[in-house]
Amino acid sequence: MEKMSRKTKETEIDVELSDGGESHIKTPIKFLDHMLASFSKHGNFGLRLTARSKDEDEHHLVEDVAITLGQAFRKRREAGPVRRFGHEIIPMDDALVGVALDAGGRGYYEGNLPHKLYDHFLRSFAHEAGVTLHVDVMHGRDEHHIIEAAFKALGRALRKGLEAASEVQSTKGEATTRGG
């Protein structure tokens, strides 16, 4: 189980990440709760996450949740050799979203979510987790459906990329974290 906390003048975030199990997510932003629950369910991650805003600024809260969650996944990724690569395409009504990632230690994000706050969430998460993350919105009109499909696809792709491997999946013989 990976545990991470972040306490700033703006927020207090606590994260516990485990394999499988139920998730208990409580933030002041119900849509964020819903996205994290979808991410957790589809990635088969047990997630206990509480977040409190001290300044009532959604940007600070969403960013700090992404940072703390990313740090928990970095800790998990660095625990041993992983498969590294994962991808998933999720349809959700009008939306079709693809996610491809490399959990090899290089924090990078390329995406085009229609809501800048959740685009920033994914950028912050990728940087802190040390994953290269590409999110491609292929179709969609409804922002809710697009963002939810992205979070579901991210959970599923991350589960694949973090599967244990018998050896480091790199011709260099190591996969070191850069950035974050």
48 CB-near residues (< 8 Å, 6+ apart): 14, 15, 16, 23, 24, 25
Q: Are strands 45-53 and 24-26 parallel, antiparallel or unpaired?
A: parallel
Rounded to whole angstroms, how far apart are CA atoms 70 and 64? 10
* 105-117 pLDDT tens trace: 999 999 999 999 9
pLDDT tens for the chain, residues 1 to 180: 999 999 999 999 999 999 988 999 999 999 999 999 999 999 999 999 999 999 999 999 999 999 999 999 999 988 877 899 999 999 999 999 999 999 999 999 999 999 999 999 999 999 999 999 999 999 999 999 999 999 999 999 999 999 876 655 445 555 555 554
pTM recorded for the entire structure: 0.92
Domains along the sequence of the chain with CATH: 2-161 (3.30.230.40)
CB 137 within 8 A of CB 146: yes
Inter-axis angle of helices 143-161 and 30-43, to 10 degrees? Answer: 40
